Structure 1
Amino acid sequence: MSFNYKISIVMPVFNASKDLSFALDSILNQTMNLSDIEVIMVDDYSTDNSLSIIKEYCRVYSNFKVIELKENIGAAYGPRNIGLKHVTGEYVMFLDSDDRFHEKACETLYNTANSNDVDIAFARYRRIYPEEKLILKSYSPYTDNINEYEDDLVDGVNLTGIIGFFWRHFFSRLIYGKLKNLNSDKIFIKNIKNHPELFKILPSIWTKIYRTSFIRKNNLEFPPFISGEDLNFVVKSFFLTDSIVFLNETIIHDYYMRNTDNDKSITKNINYSLVYDSLDSYYHCNEICRDFKFSKSNVILNPFLLNWISLYKQSDLSKSEKKELYKIVNNMSKFYKNGFISRCLIFFIKLLLKT
């Protein structure tokens, strides 16, 4: 199989004119030679001037390409899957239109994956909240004590009120446990089941590089969820390969989350579709774990279920909508029994949906 580029970067775009140039400029500023990078932007029928911005970059840079969708899919999974079909790079990376790569992201991940001949390489990131002047590093089970993090923010997840209280004083200690031994800053994984602690790190699709042939051989796609599609993609990909490298470094990726009143991101507008899809995606992830005979899905999903409770508490749903959610939780509860915390979370969610 011949490739035109070392890396293809797939970027879904929808009404992202405010941040799009910052994201694209972070690609231009990479230490890797720009001629080795292909950028595939998939516009999900934007109604602002995102497409005009994209076309200007394509006019100036021949390795920047655009795919214009004629109708809106409504979530990142669709544009990402379409972009994957058009990549011509040896490896694939993902960048969202409101994120920015660290200048060494492409070079570091590519050199790590290529020199070690692995299907997947990934590292840590810093999450930056410019409005709050707050910088958080991503969690690592090898070097970080979860209690060192901000009281109400864990990997950017806002856990305040009663949920935050139980998180700080109870759940965080039980979910994240003790630190693991680390012999080097680079960890080679042949069987992810032997390294379940890595699942405690958020999926963060934009911190990873994938061998294109690996994705195509396994027909890997993002499932059709508004939220949680990246979680399912990452978990399944980890089970499918025997060659992963994890870099326990925080310099690979800078993540910027906009915290503005006019933010129109789908995953920041809390409605029934988001609440339902998030929970359904966790159920789907649990099914993936069952398919691959991985009995510790709670390691992956307990933090997400806890965050889902916080999400649900911010929503205003009808009785019929709660009933539909209850069906998902009830089906999940039949197989999600590994651990006391897991059973408590499922029980508490059921209780919430019944009130």
Structure 2
Amino acid sequence: MYKISVVVATYNSGDFLSEFLDSIKSQSLGFEDIEVIFVDDASTDSCTLDLLHDFNKKYSNVSAVFLDENSGFPGTGRNRGLDLAGGEYVIFADHDDSYVENAFEVMYNEISKENADFLITNYYKVYERETVKEKTVFDGENVVVNTFKDDLRLFDIGPSIWTKLFKKDFLAENNIRFLEGMLAEDLYVYVYALLKSKKTVYLDDFYSYNYSIRDVDGNKSTIHIRNKKYLESMVNGYFEVDNLLDKLNKEEFFSNIFKRHFVYWLTSLVVSDISDAEKRELVVAINPLLKKQLAISSEFDEKSYLPLIDLILAEDYDKIVEEICKIKKSRARKDKIKSFFGLR
């Protein structure tokens, strides 16, 4: 049995795949103890397909699976890979990033030592000109908890799935799977795992992953894609997470889970270039969740969104869109000033 199975959902990934696999081959844990499963979402570029076929032939511990139809979202590929995974532990990576050389050795040793259901690490954010460490509320503190209630700060950790190593049997026994056909699939799995885990390890001082952030036309990271499909898919996923809380009778933790995600979503809406009509449609869709949050906490963590509160509660969607446009113009002015003075 492999120690770790790495599941990678791919789509028109190109040369990123070679860079990713190189980081797995160089793992100090030993490449022979790692299984890599690429699940391709019906790529259309020959480079990706040729590389996957080549990997499949060249390495006995690397397999490539090809979906017949494009699902458009990573959840389908990740679930298919999870079904095929033969490792004791499983982790889900993006196709255009990489792991540091001792990532799996540290993660495997820690999760085995603690006999934990899953383990979380920190990560690097890799920009074109610099690499920075992600900062969290833990500020370098590592924790081991038997229940999420022992440290609710775990809900403030980003849901990005690539820094989370799961005991495969734990996922199977609790039927924890990714949402398909929508986004927030990583948040869903992370929340589900936290609520069910009988022991969770978080290593805030260990940076296992290089998260590449690109913002060039034709080569943008998902974080920079803010079209209607993306924002609507996030909303759909949020509702599924809310349904999960209801199913597990954990609604009391709604705000702990969603407070930072609603700020992220609103920010994505503000900076998007979609039409006002599309913005209104999205606001109508998410408003029940925003009202639910405001019933628990009377404000958002981001001060610039305070003018939206009364409008959200009143369901004044036209005014909400107007205010969002004002916020966008204000942000643009501030960004221009920062750029003029060479500030980030």
Structure number with greater CO (CA < 8 Å, separation at least 6) is: 1
The amino acid of 1:283's aligned partner reads F
Aligned to 2:73: 75
SS in 2 for 1:85: helix
Deviation at 1:122, TM superposition (A): 1.2
Look up the match of 2:149.
Answer: 193
2:115 counterpart residue number: 117
Residues 1:304 and 2:301 are matched in the alignment: no
Question: CA 1:299–1:333 in structure 2 vs 1: closer, same or farther (change >3 Å)?
Answer: same
Secondary structure, counterpart of 2:205 in structure 1: coil
CA distance in 1, matches of 2:66, 2:309: 42
User: What SS does the aligned partner of 1:295 have?
Assistant: helix
State the number of aligned residues.
310
Contiguous gaps of at least 5 residues in structure 2: 323-344
CA contact (8 A) 2:103 2:208 kept: yes
Structure 1 residues 47-196: aligned runs within 5 Å: 47-48=44-45, 49-129=47-127, 131=128, 133-143=129-139, 182=141, 185=142, 187-196=143-152
Check whether the contact 2:161–2:186 (CA below 8 A) recurs between aligned residues: yes
- 1:320 Cα deviation (Å)? 6.6
* Contact 2:4 2:33 (8 Å CA) reproduced: yes
Q: Which residue of 2 aligns with 1:319?
A: 277
Deviation readout 1:145-190 (Å, 9 max, x if unpaired): xxxxxxxxxxxxxxxxxxxxxxxxxxxxxxxxxxxxx5xx3x1111
**Structure 2 counterpart of 1:337:** 295
Output the CA distance in 2 between the equivalents of 1:309 and 1:335.
13
CA contact (8 A) 1:298 1:342 kept: no
Match of 2:11 among 10, 14, 22: 14
Q: CA deviation at 1:54?
A: 1.4
Residues 39 and 67, structure 2, Cα contact 8 Å, conserved in 1: yes
* 315-324 vs 38-47, greater mean Cα deviation: 315-324
* Aligned partner of 1:273 among 210, 229, 235: 229
Change (3 A) 1:124 1:348: farther
Cα–Cα, structure 1 residues 320 and 53, in superposed 2: closer, same or farther, change >3 Å?
closer
Structure 2 CA distance for aligned equivalents of residues 305 and 217 of structure 1: 31
Aligned: 1:223 with 2:221? no
Deviations 1:198-225 (A, max 9, x none): 2111112111110011111111111125
Deviation at 1:264, TM superposition (A): 5.8
How far apart are the structure 1 equivalents of 2:256 and 2:293? 14
Cα deviation, 1:220-264, whole Å, max 9, x if unaligned, reads 111125431101110111101111111122332222223322126
Shift of 1:7: 0.7
Deviates more, 1:66-75 or 1:331-340: 331-340
Letter matched to residue 51 of structure 2: I
Q: Secondary structure at the match of 2:81?
A: helix
Instruction: Note the aligned Cα RMSD (angstroms).
Output: 2.3
Q: Measured at CA, do residues 331 and 122 of structure 1 come closer, stay the same or move farther in structure 2, by a change above 3 Å?
A: closer
Contact 1:137 1:250 (C-alpha < 8 Å) held by counterparts: no
Letter in 2 for 1:116: E
Q: Which residue identity does 2:254 align to in structure 1?
A: S
Deviations 1:9-30 (A, max 9, x none): 0000000103111111110110
CA distance in 1 between partners of 2:14 and 2:278 (Å) = 37
Deviation track 1:273-296 (CA, whole Å, cap 9, x = no partner) reads: 111111232233234334342523
- Contact persistence 2:6–2:90 (CA under 8 A): yes
TM-score by length of 2: 0.83
Counterpart of 2:326 in structure 1 is none
Return the alpha-carbon distance in structure 1 between the equivalents of residues 223 and 121 of structure 2.
24
The structure where helix makes up a greater share of residues is: 2
Alignment of structure 1 residues 237-248 onto 2, 5 Å: 237-248=193-204
1:141 partner amino acid = V
* 165, 189, 195: which one aligns with 1:233: 189
The one-letter amino acid of 2:96's match is D
Aligned partners of 1:353, 1:315: CA distance in 2, in Å?
A: 16
Task: Summarize deviations over 1:77-101 as a string: whole Å, max 9, x none.
Answer: 1100111110010100111101101
Deviation at 1:335, TM superposition (A): 6.2
8 Å CA contact 1:11, 1:94 repeated in 2: yes
Q: Secondary structure of the residue that 2:35 maps to in structure 1?
A: strand
